[in-house]
Amino acid sequence: MPDKKFFENLSGKGKAIGVLTSGGDAQGMNAAVRAVVRMGIYVEAKVYFIYEGYQGMVDGGENIVEVTWESVSSILQVGGTVIGSARCKAFRTREGRLKAACNLVKCGITNLCVIGGDGSLTGANLFREEWNGLLEELAQNGEIEKGAIKKYAYLNIVGMVGSIDNDFCGTDMTIGTDSALHRIIEVVDAIMTTAQSHQRTFVLEVMGRHCGYLALVSALACGADYVFIPEYPPEEGWEDHMCSRLSENRARKKRLNIIIVAEGAIDCHNQPITSEQVKDLVVQRLGYDTRVTILGHVQRGGTPSAFDRILASRMGVEAVLALLEGTPETPACVVSLSGNQAVRLPLMECVQMTQDVQKAMDGKRFSDAVQLRGRSFENNLNTYKLLSTKRTAADLPKTNFNVAVLNVGAPAAGMNAAVRSAVRIGITEGHKMFAVTDGFEGFSRGLIKEISWGDVGGWTGQGGSILGTKRALPGKYLEKIAEQMRTHNINALLVIGGFEAFDGCLQLFEARPRFEEFCIPICIVPATISNNVPGTDLSIGADTSLNAIVETCDRIKLSASGTKRRVFIIETMGGYCGYLANMGALAAGADAAYIFEEKFDIRELQANVEHLTEKMKTGIQRGLVLRNENSSENYTTDFIYQLYSEEGKGVFDCRKNVLGHMQQGGAPSPFDRNFGTKISAKAVLWLSKKLKECYRRGKGRVFANTEDSVCLLGMRRRNLIFQPVVQLKDETDFVHRIPREQWWLKLRPLMKILAKYKTSYDVSDSGQLEHVLRPKQAEA
């Protein structure tokens, strides 16, 4: 383990940071601006807003303003960008850049944080390369002093990508993409109910002039019948193929069809495919009642999702660290997301790769374009292709394996998407798929039936668990479960659920010496709002729950606008796991979050009250405090509420709110639908591989008794990996049902810094400039 590295020795004293948003706006930009400002001030640097993007930099004057901590209060939940964004022709000329350099030097700004798309970031890099020459020219013209050339010798640039299209190579997600998906899915879910009533076909056009990410992921998240994207145009004769797929789906009693078209969709000859063209085709060929809906700028609007707020906050802090560590030799970098890690990549390598995608599409090298988009895009496309096309019985392989799927634990949004994906991939693999109702308890009672491709149609957008789920562990039903496995000849198990799913499969593994029926491949897919399953950074359902918490916190904060100063104490679910409280606090801009993993006492509670009291004196109107339901036996939500009420008398009043089961319900978020679909597909493909490996021809049956035949599939930092449950046993605190180490605790200081506390922030994972992996390198 490397020594922990903290940023205390990184001082911003004497440095000035300018922050600007440029190009198209995206939800979450304000969260990034807020993080840059507060982190900058925290390290004692001066921070300046540059209003209206590069135009403000060229015009100078009142467009470049030093800001304070309070300047960014209450902007976290606001969509768009509060500092404005504008296209700027002047900055494209050397004359414009000369003016911009002069304006920056006047304020002493030599560190720029640019939030925008690839055009904005390319412009910033050019500006950086020309910086010295620009200063020399300004000194010659007498616009700056000669000493300024040495004093402001180099310009540091760090970029963050704000773009709803997710069209920038090098990052899994750009700021704004998740929020745009939320807008699209809200519309699709609403349209589905009306389409169902009238047996209609809907053609939806979504944004993405050069990138099909929004179209592809929304098609995956709503189970669309057909999707058109620029990177993967349909083959010749697509008209016949699409119409036959639509009519096949109608023949299977499906009452509606959804077709999603990216605005930049093309055919294999690079000719555009429009939503009107698709509609006319459906009407002429099939005679279906068909409507077109163009979503347009709705996708850019609205409040940012919890994911975007957390992503932007993490990136903003990372950007300031990168600026502080910058040297004249450091290339301009962009802060990116890889899996669950914030990474730094050379800006121009990412820009080059993004431009190569367009060149590949122009040259009709579409498979190259898909690869260059990155593994996340490629996985989405491959999963969509597998799930959307039902092969005929003659085309399917026949394996004679029976695979059972069950949900275990409390319901979590996204479970149904995972079941749908598992059933369809299993059928494509040639297996017979069985659905178990009511978890292990239902298994013991024989609630098992075969499930077909059509049975899981329309499941992706449904909340809860359609199969039914129970918390019961298999321990007391082992004999009956073994008997049911014999009766139905079950050869593999896919268990989708929370901590009980992990614990239950561990019990099955440990019972193998007594019951040979359990010697089969078993895979667990983590699904719980608490996100407390060992072996994974994320669980299906946690994102939906986080969005419910953040949305409620936003509303609660608004309820106090116009009244006197008020502090809200909010209790979240999660058992002993503080994930929801901690991440909810980060996404909602809370002042404190009390969790079980970090012990707190009366002195800390007192310090928090005093801290809030001081903040209220600076003009801040509202405070927000989150508490995990099991964070402390004695410091209950009521106790904390009463303490704050008493100590805050005369300065603020208090309200409390227990969010309860609303965190568990509702339609799954786009992230949970997509994550559930992809992780479940990967799990079934692994089971298929294990079934072939463990088939004993002599005995004519499957026999798997090794540790690695009972695995949990989890997201670990950057990758989805299969881990034997036995190995995860040591990493688990079974009493409190949580992993012993949790990655998100590293983000806890980040929440405190953004709430104006002095703290230590471990930056061991930061600071390494990596290189962009191009597909050929990735294969090597």
Q: How does pLDDT run across 113-130, given as a tens digit for each residue?
A: 999 988 899 999 999 999
Q: Please state the rounded mean pLDDT for residues 580-592.
A: 95
Mean of pLDDT values over 82-95: 92
Torsion, CA 174, CA 178, CA 183, CA 187, rounded to 10: 120
Q: How far apart are CA 35 and CA 29, in angstroms?
A: 10
DSSP-derived secondary structure for 765-779: TS--B-----HHHHH
Average pLDDT over residues 154-169: 93
The 10s digit of each residue's pLDDT in 325-369 is: 988 888 899 998 887 788 899 999 999 999 999 999 999 999 999
In this prediction, residue 419 carries a pLDDT of: 98
At 59 the three-state DSSP class reads: helix
pLDDT the model gives residue 764: 55
At 382, list the tokens. 């491959």
pLDDT band at 536 (very low <50, low <70, confident <90, very high): very high
pLDDT for 696 beyond 90: no
User: In whole angstroms, how far apart are CA 750 and each of 26, 42, 115, 450, 764?
Assistant: 23, 11, 20, 49, 14
**Tens-place pLDDT, residues 19-74:** 999 988 999 999 999 999 999 999 999 999 999 999 999 999 999 999 999 899 88
What integer is the mean pLDDT of 365-383?
Answer: 91
The pLDDT of residue 7 is above 70: no
Give residue 780's pLDDT.
30
- Kindly tell me the burial class for residue 375, based on how many C-beta atoms sit within 10 Å of its own C-beta (0-12, 13-18, 19 or more): middle
CB 715 within 8 A of CB 537: yes
pLDDT band at 276 (very low <50, low <70, confident <90, very high): very high
- Hey, which residues are catalytic here? 165
Query: Binning pLDDT at 50, 70 and 90, where does residue 559 land?
Result: confident
Rounded average pLDDT over 214-227: 94
pLDDT per position as a tens digit, 626-677: 999 999 999 999 999 999 999 988 889 899 999 989 888 789 999 999 999 9
Which range is least confidently modeled, 2-11, 313-322, 533-542, 616-625? 2-11
Pick the more confident residue, 160 or 249. Answer: 160
The two structure tokens encoding residue 6: 């903290």
618 pLDDT exceeds 80?
no
pLDDT for res 87: 85
Answer yes or no: are the C-beta atoms of 323 and 156 closer than 8 Å: yes
In this predicted structure, the answer to whether residue 587 has a pLDDT above a threshold of 60 is: yes
Comparing CA positions, the residue from 572, 474, 561, 465 lying closest to residue 515 is 474
Q: Which of 495, 467, 496, 468 is nearest to 481 (CA)?
A: 495
Binding-site residue numbers for Mg(2+) are 118
CA atoms of 385 and 566, how far apart (whole Å)? 52
- DSSP H or E segment with residue 33: helix 29-42
Whether pLDDT at 678 is above 90: yes
Closest listed residue to residue 709, CA positions, set 692, 697, 734: 692
First to last CA, the chain: 27
Percent of the chain topping pLDDT 70 = 96
Query: What average pLDDT does this structure show over 613-623?
Result: 82
For residue 450, report the phi and psi dihedrals to the nearest 5 degrees. -70, 145
Helix 213-222 with 375-388: angle, nearest 10 deg: 40
pLDDT of residue 250: 87
Contact between 496 and 405 (Cβ < 8 Å): yes
pLDDT tens-digit series, residues 764-779: 556 567 777 776 543 3
Query: Does 499 score more than 50 pLDDT?
Result: yes
The span from the CA of 386 to the CA of 377, in Å, is: 15
Question: Tell me, what's the pLDDT at 773?
Answer: 73
Joined tokens for residue 767: 């600071």
High-pLDDT (> 90) share of the chain, %: 74
Task: Give pLDDT, residue 545.
Answer: 97
Mean pLDDT of 281-302: 92
- Per-residue pLDDT at 4: 47
Does residue 231 register a pLDDT over 70? yes
The mean of the pLDDT values for the chain is 91
Weakest mean pLDDT among 8-17, 261-270, 272-281, 315-324: 8-17
Tally Cβ neighbours within 10 Å of residue 603. Answer: 8
- Please enumerate, by residue number, every residue annotated as part of a binding site for beta-D-fructose 2,6-bisphosphate: 471, 528-532, 566, 573-575, 629, 655, 661-664, 737
pLDDT band at 616 (very low <50, low <70, confident <90, very high): confident
Highest mean predicted confidence (pLDDT) among 138-147, 420-429, 710-719: 420-429
The residue written with tokens 């600007």 in the block is 20
Question: What domains are there in the chain, each with its CATH number?
Answer: 16-174+304-359 (3.40.50.450), 177-299 (3.40.50.460), 393-540+668-733 (3.40.50.450), 543-664 (3.40.50.460)
Entry field: residues in the chain = 780
> What is d(CA 53, CA 67) in angstroms, rounded to the nearest whole number?
16
Which residues belong to the annotated binding site?
24, 87-88, 117-120, 163-165, 200, 207-209, 263, 291, 297-300, 471, 528-532, 566, 573-575, 629, 655, 661-664, 737
Q: What is the pLDDT of residue 765?
A: 59
